[in-house]
Structure 1
Amino acid sequence: MIAQVKDKFHQLFEKDPVIVTSPGRINLIGEHTDYNEGFVLPAAIDKKIIYAIALNGTDTCNVYALFNNEQRSFSLKDIKPGEGWINYLMGVVYQLQQRGFEMKGFDCVVSGDIPIGAGMSSSAAVEGGLVVALDHLLGLGLGRMEMARIGQLAEHTFPGVKCGIMDQFANLHGRKDQVMLLDCRSLEFQYFPFEFSAAYKIVLCNSMVHHSLASSEYNVRRAQCEEGVEVLRAYYPGIRSLRDLNAEQVEQYKDKLSPKVYDRCLFVTQENERVGKACAHLQKNELDEVGRLMYASHEGLSRLYEVSCPELDFLAGLARERPEVAGARMMGGGFGGCTINLVEADKVDEFISFIQSRYNEKFGKVPEVYVTSIEDGAKIN
């Protein structure tokens, strides 16, 4: 892929580029907790967005996307939300301008192998890769957490998805063979070794359902959680978000919340508790216990948070039938995308064959399956 991107860049712009690789991410557990100031346990993976990029001495930014062979341009003097994928790049440039940095025009070619709509956060990889590139080319001196904030705000203001910080954080802070516990309020984090990489593989099974509902429903879920906090603040005056409550406290005032808002709040508080338990089990090398928490997470996402779909539920159910699977759950915003499965390394082929066969019987399509590894975050190559 790097060679392809370089070749296309030379062909279009006839100069030498800087190369940036920017990974997708998995999230072992802790879904829809980030925008509730809770805890998440993500990692960067070996699926990547790749940039070839160089300054061009003008006020225009020219971008060629290899994934759809489309070239788009925008002026630094008039950046406003547009249509499609270019929004993610324009949003980054706009946020840098808002911080007072003098932007300069650039030429770039972008490609990658992160499946779109599969819940591996291709958008954060696009954002993170560009901010790393511009920081390098313009000598901005940005810290990694500030870069993550820029990517998050870019997504808020241009594509209009009110995402939490997890995806951008994981993209920029990834470390090979380690997952990261992130406190989404304080932004403090610590690494936990994923010491099972020889015995187990992280296998992502794509439902092949594009999560077209995810963006709009994501914002609905966020609003429901905020509504719950407003109601519960009457009984717990010091709370700022669901992060400040446990599941028992939510249950105590169930009758004060609408049924949907109660379910959302209960899920988030339970999920935060599961993240803490998962870290304790990782430290003790208790992968089976982590797996049980993953299955419980999926149940909550499906029944309480209602962001699953029949295809994802079916995939998670198939995983439960397999003794070689330690745990599985849907991953990402929901309504499609992938399940994440922890599968014994020597049984991966057998697992894939089973999943694809049974899923095809049920839904008439063969799911794509990705065997991934945990890798470093976005970087200059």
Structure 2
Amino acid sequence: MQVLETITSAFRGTFGETPTLIQSPGRVNLIGEHTDYNEGFVLPAAIDKAIYLAVGPRNDQKLHFVSADLNSTYQGSLTDIRRSGKGWANYLLGVIDQIQKEMSLPGGLNVVFGGTIPIGSGLSSSAALENGVAVALNHLYKLGMERVPMALLSQRAENQFVGVQCGIMDQFASMMGQEGQVIKLDCRSLEYAYAPLAMDGFRIVLCDSRVKHSLASTEYNTRREECEAGVAIVRASVGDQVRSLRDVTMDMLNRYVRDQEPLLYKRCAYVVLENQRLLNGVADLEAGNIEAFGQRMYESHEGLSKWYEVSCPELDILEDIARAHPGVLGARMMGGGFGGCTINLVREDALADFEAVVQREYLERTGQETLLHECRIEAGTHVV
């Protein structure tokens, strides 16, 4: 693979040694959007778009990182970890900072990394990079860390050092992925189980809207507040056993929220129904009924667009094009919303026609070109 040859060659040229190679995947989320911060369920999977790291230990305290894709270098020390003006370096430094809060590292680290995750596609390159550094240090220095704690450590690095208040899904999916399996993750307890996604005859295709509307961050925070406000109304009526939307039923929403706060009702109802859609979707996958699962993806998009209102015209157009194509089993927007990608389950024999139709119709209807990415479900972060 070209990227492995590139980073290996760069590592040898920079450090005069042969590196250890780490593959750390991006992720998709099949269903269960905006459920994570409501203590609900998500259904992600690791994919074959990844960050690759060439790594080696040092016998001093120095840190030397090279981003091959950005042609940028960072040098620092274990004894003086502080935020860098080079934003990309903070993802690596944050992980090292978290590890050093738990144990002292015996030496520094050399890293050259590059990737095949499309930038700005919402496939979580940051989580992949964080996990790659955690696995590298664990392997090189035999730290004995388990995989779930490493995913949590990567999340803390992003929350506390980088300053992005992400949930656990991205790091967990990238670390814990298995080939051909999706992960049913309970965001409250971190209990997880694998469900088969039998992709024989099907492909996952991401259609990139190529837009990111400025609403994304402010509306994300607003949605969190709206959900919490809905929970507070229900809690005032039924008591403290209701901690989050995870504990709320449609009956409770119909009784206590619908007439009093119609907007909050829409927001909360979407989340409660999405959790149930996900659990039903897992049952579909376990029964091998991928067609039924695809229909739940369409229902999820409808909820995100009309009830939760985090879609945008471009994403709705991509979903509309997919829904009209006979080779597509299911499609929906993926991620925070207001831009980014749709995720589509497409029959392999219809793939070329679907891609041609999407590119032609999206350009006609928006004046924008779309980028298409085919994905396979792969194993989580590992030493190559």
TM-score by length of 1: 0.94
1:325 maps to 2:328: yes
Task: Return the alpha-carbon distance in structure 1 between the equivalents of residues 259 and 153 of structure 2.
Answer: 37
CA contact (8 A) 2:231 2:248 kept: no
Q: Please, which of 194, 198, 201 is the counterpart of residue 203 of structure 2?
A: 201
Judged with a 3 Å threshold, the aligned counterparts in structure 2 of structure 1 residues 88 and 103 are, in CA distance, closer, same or farther, namely farther
Q: 1:90-127, CA deviations, whole angstroms, 9 ceiling, x for partnerless residues?
A: 21111112223436321111110111221211111111
1:238 Cα deviation after fit: 0.7
- Count of aligned positions: 380
The RMSD of aligned alpha carbons is 1.8
CA contact (8 A) 1:76 1:103 kept: no
| SS of equivalent residue, structure 1 residue 192 | strand
Judged with a 3 Å threshold, the aligned counterparts in structure 2 of structure 1 residues 152 and 259 are, in CA distance, closer, same or farther, namely farther
1:54 Cα deviation after fit: 1.0
CA contact (8 A) 2:257 2:264 kept: no
1:352 maps to 2:327: no
Judged with a 3 Å threshold, the aligned counterparts in structure 2 of structure 1 residues 147 and 322 are, in CA distance, closer, same or farther, namely same
Task: Return the alpha-carbon distance in structure 1 between the equivalents of residues 126 and 28 of structure 2.
Answer: 13
Task: State the partner residue of 1:225.
Answer: 227
Task: State the partner residue of 1:100.
Answer: 103
Task: Return the alpha-carbon distance in structure 1 between the equivalents of residues 259 and 150 of structure 2.
Answer: 40
1:229 Cα deviation after fit: 2.5
Judged with a 3 Å threshold, the aligned counterparts in structure 2 of structure 1 residues 294 and 58 are, in CA distance, closer, same or farther, namely same
1:295 maps to 2:298: yes
1:371 Cα deviation after fit: 1.0
Task: State the partner residue of 1:176.
Answer: 179
Identify unmatched segments of 5+ residues in structure 1.
none
Of 18-27 and 360-369, deviating more is 360-369
Task: Return the alpha-carbon distance in structure 2 between the equivalents of residues 304 and 159 of structure 1.
Answer: 32
Task: Return the alpha-carbon distance in structure 2 between the equivalents of residues 206 and 103 of structure 1.
Answer: 43
1:257 Cα deviation after fit: 6.4
Q: 1:247-290, CA deviations, whole angstroms, 9 ceiling, x for partnerless residues?
A: 33223222586554433322211110110110111122222211
Judged with a 3 Å threshold, the aligned counterparts in structure 2 of structure 1 residues 256 and 70 are, in CA distance, closer, same or farther, namely farther
Q: Please, which of 156, 163, 166 is the counterpart of residue 163 of structure 1?
A: 166
1:201 Cα deviation after fit: 0.7
Task: State the partner residue of 1:282.
Answer: 285
| SS of equivalent residue, structure 1 residue 209 | strand
1:326 Cα deviation after fit: 0.5
Judged with a 3 Å threshold, the aligned counterparts in structure 2 of structure 1 residues 303 and 51 are, in CA distance, closer, same or farther, namely same
Q: 1:332-354, CA deviations, whole angstroms, 9 ceiling, x for partnerless residues?
A: 12222110000010110100000
Task: State the partner residue of 2:77.
Answer: 75
Of 361-370 and 336-345, deviating more is 361-370
CA contact (8 A) 1:208 1:336 kept: yes
Judged with a 3 Å threshold, the aligned counterparts in structure 2 of structure 1 residues 162 and 219 are, in CA distance, closer, same or farther, namely farther
CA contact (8 A) 2:234 2:257 kept: no
Task: State the partner residue of 1:144.
Answer: 147
Q: Which amino acid aligns with 2:205?
A: V
1:211 Cα deviation after fit: 6.3
Q: Which amino acid aligns with 2:18?
A: D
Task: State the partner residue of 1:52.
Answer: 54
Q: Please, which of 375, 378, 381 is the counterpart of residue 381 of structure 2?
A: 378
Task: Return the alpha-carbon distance in structure 1 between the equivalents of residues 63 and 335 of structure 2.
Answer: 31
Task: State the partner residue of 2:250.
Answer: 247
Q: Which amino acid aligns with 2:75?
A: S
1:123 maps to 2:113: no
1:144 Cα deviation after fit: 1.0
Judged with a 3 Å threshold, the aligned counterparts in structure 2 of structure 1 residues 217 and 201 are, in CA distance, closer, same or farther, namely same
Q: Which amino acid aligns with 2:102?
A: R
TM-score by length of 2: 0.94
Task: Return the alpha-carbon distance in structure 2 between the equivalents of residues 252 and 227 of structure 1.
Answer: 15
Q: Which amino acid aligns with 2:99?
A: L
Q: 1:296-322, CA deviations, whole angstroms, 9 ceiling, x for partnerless residues?
A: 111111222222221111101111111
| SS of equivalent residue, structure 1 residue 233 | helix
Q: Which amino acid aligns with 2:330?
A: G
CA contact (8 A) 1:211 1:337 kept: no
Task: Return the alpha-carbon distance in structure 1 between the equivalents of residues 106 and 242 of structure 2.
Answer: 40
Q: Which amino acid aligns with 1:305?
A: Y
1:5 Cα deviation after fit: 0.8
Task: Return the alpha-carbon distance in structure 1 between the equivalents of residues 38 and 338 of structure 2.
Answer: 20
Task: Return the alpha-carbon distance in structure 2 between the equivalents of residues 299 and 82 of structure 1.
Answer: 42
CA contact (8 A) 1:232 1:253 kept: yes
| SS of equivalent residue, structure 2 residue 83 | coil
Of 336-345 and 362-371, deviating more is 362-371
Task: Return the alpha-carbon distance in structure 1 between the equivalents of residues 260 and 190 of structure 2.
Answer: 30
Task: Return the alpha-carbon distance in structure 1 between the equivalents of residues 155 and 40 of structure 2.
Answer: 16
1:340 maps to 2:343: yes
